[in-house]
Amino acid sequence: MSSETKKILTTDGIPLEVSLKKAEKKNKIKAFLLVAPLLLFLVITYIFPIGDMFLRSVDDKMITNMLPKTFKAMEKWENLEELPPEEVYRSFYEDYKLLAENQQHGKLGQRLNKEKNGFNTITKKLFRQIKRKKIDESASIKEQINKLHKRWRNVEYWLAIKRTAPPYTVAKYLKGMDMYFDSDGSITQVDEDRRIHRILWLRTLEIAFFVTLFSFFMGYPIAHLLATLPMKYSNLLMICVLLPFWTSLLVRTASWMILLQQQGLVNDFFVMIGLVGDDNRPEMMYNKVGTYVAMTQILLPFMVLPLYSVMKTISPSLMRAGKSLGGTPFVAFWKVYFPLTIPGIGAGCLLVFILAIGYYITPALVGGASGTLISNQIAFHMKTTLDWSFASAMGLMLLTGVLVIYWIYNKLVGVDNIKLG
Amino acid sequence: MSKNPEFVKFDKVDKSYDGKVLVVKDLQLDIAEGEFITMLGPSGSGKTTCLMMLAGFETPTHGEILLDGNIISNIPPHKRGIGMVFQNYALFPHMTVYENLAFPLRVRKVEKDEIDKKVDKALSMVSLNGFETRMPAQLSGGQQQRVAVARALVFDPAVVLMDEPLGALDKNLRESMQYEIKHIHESIGVTVVYVTHDQSEALTMSNRIAVFNDGKVQQLSNPAELYEKPVNSFVAEFIGENNTFNGEVIDIDKDKCKVKLTNSEILANPISVKSKGEKTTVSLRPERALINPTDKMDNMFTGKIEEVIYHGDHTRVRLNLLGSSEFILKVPNSTSNLELKVSQDINIGWNSVDARALDPK
């Protein structure tokens, strides 16, 4: 069958497929040229940075480049339970001396200290000895270094150096999940009282989930009203929905702070109508309540708009048909209307969830101690500790999380079902 | 089994949407059990509003609607048990054909076996067996339409409403569906209220037709009477083709009247004129005027051919006659074909009984 179709020729004897390709080539080029600027823009501002982020997050070349001779010598270190042979000591001494001459030794100390506490002290000690030229290069380097500090006589420290040999590491990712490589190189969890990242991940997911849920329950009726009201009212309502969009994020967040604080308008109103006493005004800010309220309001349009665009296409006669066939208004809604809005629900929830998972200004301002989310941690490492590779690792973990959610969604509902407008 | 002649009754029904304009004015309409009644009228004439009030999607502003003697104005749509076929079919796009048909039965908690039986019966009625698992989007327009009809009938409603169900189909399909719906109606004897603006559809299918205009029923009669004996000039104009003369009655007796046109006089059948001096519009069907009449006719004139249009089964001839150049003749395509040429003079005649003197336009 397929071989027969391939043989179809045009009147001039050119195979039909070739002719078709030729005819469509111009259109394809035109289409490509139209998207080319955006494609270029995306490659420069999106693909490259993500690639760079990934490289940064796994990069561990610093020590590899600082101690080339040492790592080469370490390849011959076989019995890992004993201290390395003289050759390793000598290579390390030579590498270190070179670093000291280039004023690079401090970086090495810091980096090794991250790998195992106590390195900073003993490398500084070695540096002073080298500076004062007290190391006799003709004698055994191993003995001289071992004499400097008892830690140099501990095989753990040498193993720590050996662990830093590979140019790439997943240590940052493990750190993001509160895990690390222990001295024998196996993955271990950090002590229970220091597992901050896991709490942040769970809190981020929890807040994103509830914000999505609240936006859905508030956005669905609004979208329905928007889609069914006569034009002049629905336009007004649409402006009300979009108004927050046109206001700066910071202004909106600040106004929520004015409304929700303990001496704020909402509390004043509660006191005025006698709902609560003046001396026990509820905390509505600097906790999760504040975060939920402010984020739901800010993200609501992202739920309403996809829902609205889907509902707009549902013919009102379908609900009428459902009722005329004997369905109560609820049955008609649940069996007919609701299933038809699922593409909009999917799009809205996905949009709100993905945006919520990466939010950080609003929760940081109104959420108090509980408002620190994973994005705040990323920003903290970007700006304060300058541990960019860790920030990159967490950013990528967040991105992967979003992609996983997208994948699950695709499996459950199907991405073709998403309708944004 | 005696049929209830007032199975559906509109009793002095008014409907207004804005409190200023009446869309339906004092509607009085009885529909007999098992009847196929069509509401025909131009758009905005109130016919669809009447249907929606009967279905329960609109409430009458005044008056009552009765179904089998019970007032239904306060019964919500889902409890009325009225089947409805919508303009764009309103098939549920996320359900298969089977699920669409089973919907009214499932909400009525019918047993599974019974549902299968009824769905099968309804589908065979519209000859769509084997389409159970298709989605509506996989069906052609005509097939969707049949599913919609089957769905409206599957739960054995007493009344089925159809709101311009054939509007979206092409001409040939529309005609065959007209016969199909007519036959279904004849075989199961359900009461059908059908809304359309297509007069030929109404004439083909209905037992009776209610012509709507301006919120009022202008005439309610069977198709033949509606066409042959329109009671006013709107109906005459709206149903079929029509030659009109505007003039003034100058002489009248029991079954004849003389109407003065601008510069001639014709004899007509007085329908809604009563006395001398009244203004009137005389209506004459094109096929009732003959060329070169052999019998003696009481209206005989000479006109000049302005235009000849060939239509296959007949030829339309536009004449300049009695000071109007809009006089239309329909000449059937028979073996004794006349030579008709533009600017030729021909003799035209008609009987005064066919020229109906109606209310002035």
Which position has the higher pLDDT, A418 or B298?
B298
Please judge whether B55 and A329 are an interchain contact, meaning their C-beta atoms are less than 8 angstroms apart: no
Helix, strand or coil, per DSSP, at residue A341 = helix
Residue B140 is assigned to a structural domain of this protein: yes
Mean per-residue pLDDT, B134-155: 89
Q: Count CB atoms within 10 A of the CB of residue B22.
A: 17
Q: Which of B183, B199, B233 is the last residue of a domain?
A: B233
Please judge whether B90 and A326 are an interchain contact, meaning their C-beta atoms are less than 8 angstroms apart: no
d(CA B80, CA A328): 11
Residue B332 is assigned to a structural domain of this protein: yes
What's the gap in Å between the CA of A16 and the closest CA on chain B?
A: 30
Length of chain A: 421
pLDDT over 90 percentage in chain B: 9
- List CB contacts of B311: < 8 A, sequence separation 6 or more: none
Please judge whether B90 and A332 are an interchain contact, meaning their C-beta atoms are less than 8 angstroms apart: no
B→A interface, C-beta within 8 Å: 55-57, 76-84, 86-88, 90-94, 103-104, 107-108, 151-152, 155, 161
Chain segment A306-336, per-residue pLDDT in tens: 899 889 888 888 988 998 888 888 999 999 9
Whether residues B62 and B95 fall in one domain: yes
Q: Count CB atoms within 10 A of the CB of residue A35.
A: 10
What is the number of CB-based contacts under 8 A between chain A and chain B? Answer: 69
Q: Take residue B169 and report the two structure tokens written for it.
A: 């189909």
Residue B3 is assigned to a structural domain of this protein: no
Contacts of A325 in chain B (CB under 8 A): 78, 83-84, 103-104, 107, 151-152, 155
CATH classification at residue B197: 3.40.50.300
CA torsion sign for A160, A161, A166, A172 is: positive
Identify the pLDDT of residue A225.
92
Contact A70, A88 (CB under 8 A): yes
Question: For residue A107, how far is the Cα from the chain centroid?
Answer: 29
What does the mean pLDDT of chain B come to? Answer: 85
Match 């003046």 to its residue by tokens: A278
Question: For residue A402, how far is the Cα from the chain centroid?
Answer: 8
- Burial class of B93 by CB neighbour count within 10 A (0 to 12, 13 to 18, 19+): middle
Contacts of A320 in chain B (CB under 8 A): 55, 57, 77, 84, 86, 90
Residue B1 is assigned to a structural domain of this protein: no
Band the pLDDT of B103: cuts 50, 70, 90.
very high
Chain segment A124-179, per-residue pLDDT in tens: 888 888 888 877 888 888 888 888 888 888 888 888 888 887 888 888 888 888 88
Q: Residue B236: what residue type?
A: A
Whether residues B171 and B288 fall in one domain: no
Contacts of A315 in chain B (CB under 8 A): 88, 90
Whether residues B101 and B247 fall in one domain: no
The three-point CA angle B305-B311-B312 to 5° equals 125
How far CA B63 is from CA of A175, B12, B25, B39, B73, in Å, comes to: 77, 5, 10, 19, 9
**Residue B65 main-chain phi, psi, to 5 deg:** -115, 130
Q: Take residue B234 and report the two structure tokens written for it.
A: 């709107």
Helix, strand or coil, per DSSP, at residue A367 = coil
d(CA A135, CA B18): 103
Contacts of A322 in chain B (CB under 8 A): 92, 103
Identify the pLDDT of residue B337.
61
> Which residues of chain A, if any, have pLDDT below 50?
1-3
Residue of B nearest to A331 (CA): B107
Please judge whether A318 and B107 are an interchain contact, meaning their C-beta atoms are less than 8 angstroms apart: no
Whether residues B212 and B72 fall in one domain: yes
**Residue B151 main-chain phi, psi, to 5 deg:** -65, -35
Q: Count CB atoms within 10 A of the CB of residue B217.
A: 23
Band the pLDDT of B130: cuts 50, 70, 90.
confident
CATH classification at residue B281: 2.40.50.140
Residue of B nearest to A334 (CA): B107
Q: Which of B233, B250, B279 is the last residue of a domain?
A: B233
Whether residues B229 and B251 fall in one domain: no
d(CA A197, CA B310): 87
Please judge whether A324 and B83 are an interchain contact, meaning their C-beta atoms are less than 8 angstroms apart: yes
Residue of B nearest to A326 (CA): B78
Q: Take residue A368 and report the two structure tokens written for it.
A: 């108090």
The per-residue DSSP string of A212-244 comes to HHHHHHHHHHHHHHHHHS-HHHHHHHHHHHHGG
CATH superfamily, with its number, for domain A196-417: MetI-like (1.10.3720.10)
Q: What is the pTM of this model?
A: 0.77
Whether residues B158 and B48 fall in one domain: yes
What's the gap in Å between the CA of B152 and the closest CA on chain A?
A: 7
Whether residues B286 and B315 fall in one domain: yes
Helix, strand or coil, per DSSP, at residue B43 = coil
Contacts of B78 in chain A (CB under 8 A): 323-329, 331-332
Closest CA to A318 of B87, B131, B166: B87
Q: Take residue A209 and report the two structure tokens written for it.
A: 């989930």
Mutate which of A317, A318, A324 to disrupt the B interface (most B C-beta within 10 Å)? Answer: A324
Q: Residue A321: what residue type?
A: A
Q: Which domain holds residue B317?
A: 241-358
Q: Which of B233, B265, B300 is the last residue of a domain?
A: B233
Match 């379908």 to its residue by tokens: A318
Contact A337, A310 (CB under 8 A): no
How far CA B60 is from CA of A13, A262, B20, B44, B66, in Å, comes to: 71, 54, 15, 17, 12
Please judge whether A340 and B93 are an interchain contact, meaning their C-beta atoms are less than 8 angstroms apart: yes
Q: Which residues of A209-222 are buried (b: 16+ CB within 10 A; e: fewer)?
A: ebbbebbbeebbeb
Contacts of B81 in chain A (CB under 8 A): 326
d(CA B93, CA B101): 12
Structural domains of chain B, count: 2
Going by their DSSP bridges, the two strands B62-67 and B243-252 should be labelled as: unpaired
Identify the pLDDT of residue B338.
65
CATH 1.10.3720.10 domain extents, chain A: 196-417
- List CB contacts of A413: < 8 A, sequence separation 6 or more: A342, A343, A346
- Burial class of A350 by CB neighbour count within 10 A (0 to 12, 13 to 18, 19+): buried
Length of chain B: 361
Residue B133 is assigned to a structural domain of this protein: yes
Beta-bridge partner residues of B13: B27
d(CA A321, CA B85): 8
Whether residues B316 and B347 fall in one domain: yes
The three-point CA angle A121-A122-A127 to 5° equals 100
Identify the pLDDT of residue B99.
92
Closest CA to A148 of A128, A165, A162, A131: A128
Helix, strand or coil, per DSSP, at residue A182 = coil
Please judge whether B92 and A318 are an interchain contact, meaning their C-beta atoms are less than 8 angstroms apart: yes
pLDDT over 70 percentage in chain B: 98
For residue B88, give the nearest of A315, A324, A326 by CB distance. Answer: A315
For residue A324, give the nearest of B77, B91, B94 by CB distance. Answer: B77
Helix, strand or coil, per DSSP, at residue B296 = coil
DSSP secondary structure letter of residue A83: P
How far CA A402 is from CA of A150, A372, A399, A409, B249, in Å, comes to: 48, 19, 5, 10, 86
Identify the pLDDT of residue B343.
79
Identify the pLDDT of residue B92.
92
Please judge whether B155 and A336 are an interchain contact, meaning their C-beta atoms are less than 8 angstroms apart: no
Identify the pLDDT of residue B128.
86
Closest CA to B136 of B160, B100, B170, B84: B100
Please judge whether B77 and A321 are an interchain contact, meaning their C-beta atoms are less than 8 angstroms apart: no
Chain segment B258-291, per-residue pLDDT in tens: 888 877 888 888 877 777 777 888 888 888 888 8
Whether residues B223 and B245 fall in one domain: no
For residue A325, give the nearest of B76, B104, B161 by CB distance. Answer: B104
Mutate which of B17, B18, B86, B161 to disrupt the A interface (most A C-beta within 10 Å)? Answer: B86
Q: Beta strands of A151-209 (E only): which ranges? A: 179-181, 187-189
For residue B108, give the nearest of A326, A329, A336 by CB distance. Answer: A326
Identify the pLDDT of residue A1.
44
Q: Take residue A350 and report the two structure tokens written for it.
A: 């996905």
Please judge whether B103 and A317 are an interchain contact, meaning their C-beta atoms are less than 8 angstroms apart: no
- List CB contacts of A276: < 8 A, sequence separation 6 or more: A267, A270, A282
Chain segment B337-354, per-residue pLDDT in tens: 667 777 788 888 888 888
Please judge whether A331 and B107 are an interchain contact, meaning their C-beta atoms are less than 8 angstroms apart: yes
Residue of A nearest to B102 (CA): A325
d(CA A314, CA A337): 8
Identify the pLDDT of residue A214.
95
Please judge whether B151 and A325 are an interchain contact, meaning their C-beta atoms are less than 8 angstroms apart: yes
- List CB contacts of B93: < 8 A, sequence separation 6 or more: A340, B135, B136, B137
Identify the pLDDT of residue B1.
44
Band the pLDDT of B140: cuts 50, 70, 90.
confident
Whether residues B203 and B251 fall in one domain: no
Whether residues B316 and B223 fall in one domain: no
Q: Residue A23: what residue type?
A: A
Mean per-residue pLDDT, B155-162: 89
Residue B2 is assigned to a structural domain of this protein: no
Residue of A nearest to B155 (CA): A325
Q: Count CB atoms within 10 A of the CB of residue A234.
A: 16
What's the gap in Å between the CA of B239 and the closest CA on chain A?
A: 30
Question: For residue A200, how far is the Cα from the chain centroid?
Answer: 12
Please judge whether A324 and B108 are an interchain contact, meaning their C-beta atoms are less than 8 angstroms apart: no
How far CA A242 is from CA of A236, A325, A348, in Å, comes to: 10, 38, 15
What's the gap in Å between the CA of A334 and the closest CA on chain B?
A: 12
Whether residues B313 and B210 fall in one domain: no
How far CA B83 is from CA of B36, B114, B343, in Å, comes to: 14, 19, 56
